[in-house]
A and B are shown apart, each in its own frame.
Chain A
Amino acid sequence: DVKVTQSSRYLVKRTGEKVFLECVQDMDHENMFWYRQDPGLGLRLIYFSYDVKMKEKGDIPEGYSVSREKKERFSLILESASTNQTSMYLCASSLSPGHPGGAGELFFGEGSRLTVL
């Protein structure tokens, strides 16, 4: 089974703090994603990466950066946390469509609930 592990389930940070959210997957997936989920807004893509050291902006990248130094690890960084970044953050990974054994569906981690005070 695919395992996507997010380092922290619950975090409380103060405005202006730097925040790191870590995600590790164990299935050698090329693609990794960071989403945030907010009530009434669904899942919104922040950043994604299709290879080591490669990244692309999603729909809401402002205030965030990412790092992918190793294939299995994808980090989300909030350089200076703000209260409007209080949210549930979801990491996911996938094989590319057409890759043997996968149809491109995303496998999600358990989520990290971040509260910024």
Chain B
Amino acid sequence: DQQVKQNSPSLSVQEGRISILNCDYTNSMFDYFLWYKKYPAEGPTFLISISSIKDKNEDGRFTVFLNKSAKHLSLHIVPSQPGDSAVYFCAARGGSEKLVFGKGTKLTVNP
């Protein structure tokens, strides 16, 4: 059973516009959420995180929103740049050191 779901396998946006990547989770024990970015043939790199005690965390062009009642989080990238083109993974943790990952969303930012 998938505990972390990224229902959109891909997303395409124009440079300068907003990219919104979505993630849903089912386990109410999750208390920490992370986003990772992955380029082809490289390891994932940590992007931004949010604790369950917050509903928003911002870092430059990247903002993560958490809606605990809906068990939903989203990553906003504004403005989107061609270098943001990558696969984005949502991950969650609760009660252990293990992270549970979603299947990823491939973002393409067109010039």
Contact B102 A42 (CB under 8 A): yes
User: What residues of chain B lie closer than 8 Å to A31, measured between beta carbons?
Assistant: 97
How many Cβ-Cβ contacts under 8 Å join chain A to chain B?
59
Q: In the complex, which range does the number of interface residues on chain B fall in?
A: 20 to 34
- Interface 1/0s, chain B 67-111, versus A by CB < 8 A? 000000000000000000000010101000111111110000000
Given that A50-B97, A96-B97, A106-B99 are contacting pairs, would A90 and B34 also be in contact in the complex, using a CB cutoff of 8 Å? Answer: no
Given that A103-B32, A104-B32, A104-B97 are contacting pairs, would A42 and B41 also be in contact in the complex, using a CB cutoff of 8 Å? Answer: no
B residues adjacent to A (C-beta < 8 A): 6, 9, 32, 34, 36, 41-46, 49, 89, 91, 93, 97-104
Of the A-B pairs whose beta carbons lie under 8 Å apart in the complex, a sample of 6, sorted by A's number, is A43-B89, A96-B97, A103-B32, A105-B34, A106-B91, A108-B36
A residues adjacent to B (C-beta < 8 A): 4, 31, 33, 35, 40-45, 48, 50, 58, 90, 92, 94, 96-97, 103-111, 113
